[in-house]
Structure formats: C-alpha cells, structure tokens
Amino acid sequence: MKSSAERRAFRSAEKLGRLRAELAVLDEQIAALRWDADDAHVRALVTENVADRKEDVDAGRHVQALRRAREALVQRVTRAEEEHRRLVERLFPE
C-alpha cells in the first residue's frame, strides 16, 4: 500500500502533466491566432477598410489576452513543479 506522501507525489505528477498539456494547447492556439492577427493586420493596411481595422484591433487584443493567460499558466506550472520537487525530495532524501 502506498504511503500518503507517495499518493500526494503521484497526484502532483498527474497535475503537473495536465498543466503542461494545457500549456502546449495554449501555445498552439497562440501560434494560430498570431497567424490570423498578422493576416488581419496586413489586410487592414492594404484595404484601409474600417471593418478590417476593427478586425485587426480585435485580433491583436485576443492574442494579448491569450498571452496573459499563458503567463498565468506558466506560473501555475512553476508552482506545481516546485510542489512536486518538494514531495519527491521528502520521499527520496539525499
């Protein structure tokens, strides 16, 4: 039977894996949106159309919002890594 510390370390590793997977998905979304935002920006410059300019601004805001979400997620990953490291060090002291 696993000890309480082993169970916590296992749950911590699972959480860390989920957070890292979420970060990978967010990175893909940002890359795709950045591509769309760049396209909207070029379109707005070329056409000088009000609707295209609005799309350009909206796309840029969306990319910035995703970047802020990414930064928050990176902080969560960092905290989870630190927590997991502490749990493992308790299980396997040097």
Condensed to tens digits (0 to 9), the pLDDT of residues 8-59 reads 999 999 999 999 999 999 999 999 999 989 888 888 888 888 988 899 899 9
Domain of residue 32 covers 4-91
- The CA distance from 88 to 93, in Å, is 8
Confidence of residue 1 (pLDDT cuts 50, 70, 90): low
Cβ-contact 5, 91 below 8 angstroms: yes
More confident of the two residues 48 and 65: 65
pTM of the model: 0.83
Number of domains in the chain: 1
